[in-house]
Amino acid sequence: MNCKDFLFLFLITSSVTFGQTKIGGDPNEINSGSLLELEDSARGLLLPRILLDDIDQWSLLGTPVDGMVIASEGGTVPDGIYHWNDGAWHILSGDFTESITILTDNQDGTLTYTNEAGNQVTIVNGGSFSEVVYVANEGQAVFVAPSNLTDVANLNVFRNGSRVGFTVLGTNSIQLELEAICFADDEIRVIQYAN
């Protein structure tokens, strides 16, 4: 076979292929929704270990891309698994402690929020409020407000005493921001002020 014949045969048999990759286990049994599947009963996935010193700084080669996942080890931020989203690294799991904050009902239409440094902020309410306290399940992000939501400005949500962001779903449910998704037994307090 000469070079021309080989090149012609190569071009005819070559095509763009799309596929899935499985490492370990039975290569004929792969989840149809996976691009990459790892299967092993005695080994795990080791993510790239990066010294992460600033959660607002892309510290990898290349262009920042949402969805990148790394393991931070030995940097100035707490060790753990982080993902890049909206211009910052967000911790998914690791050796971090929950901030100690306190939310106190003063029984006079106000709440006092005390942060981990001991600083206090009084939240003044011109009327009454109702609240629902949940003990969350692992990964839970959706909760029901005390009554139908007519004004999002009248709603505050706290996870273990720290105020968290949320979006409204329908007329009486809220979804916590991505960074505030719960661990098992987290306390979620949904406070709704009267109009």
Could you state, in order of their start, the residue ranges of all structural domains in the chain?
19-96, 102-193
Q: Closest Cα to residue 49, out of 69, 23, 63?
A: 69
In three-state secondary structure terms, 106 is coil
- Model confidence, pTM: 0.42
Query: Minimal CA–CA distance to 48: which of 67, 66, 72?
Result: 72
Token pair belonging to 138? 């692992």
| Distance, CA of 147 to CA of 192 (rounded, Å) | 8
Question: CA-to-CA distance for 29 and 38, rounded, in angstroms?
Answer: 11
Polymer length in residues for the chain: 195
Match 């049994």 to its residue by tokens: 29
Q: Residue 144 pLDDT > 80, yes or no?
A: yes
Q: Which carries the bigger pLDDT value, residue 123 or residue 11?
A: 123
The pLDDT tens digits for 43-72 are 888 888 888 888 888 988 989 988 888 888
What per-residue confidence (pLDDT) applies to 1? Answer: 61
What CA–CA distances, in Å, run from 107 to 13, 126, 127, 148, 156?
78, 13, 12, 24, 17
Instruction: Please give the average per-residue pLDDT across 133-161, as a whole number.
Output: 83
**Residue 101, pLDDT above cutoff 60:** yes
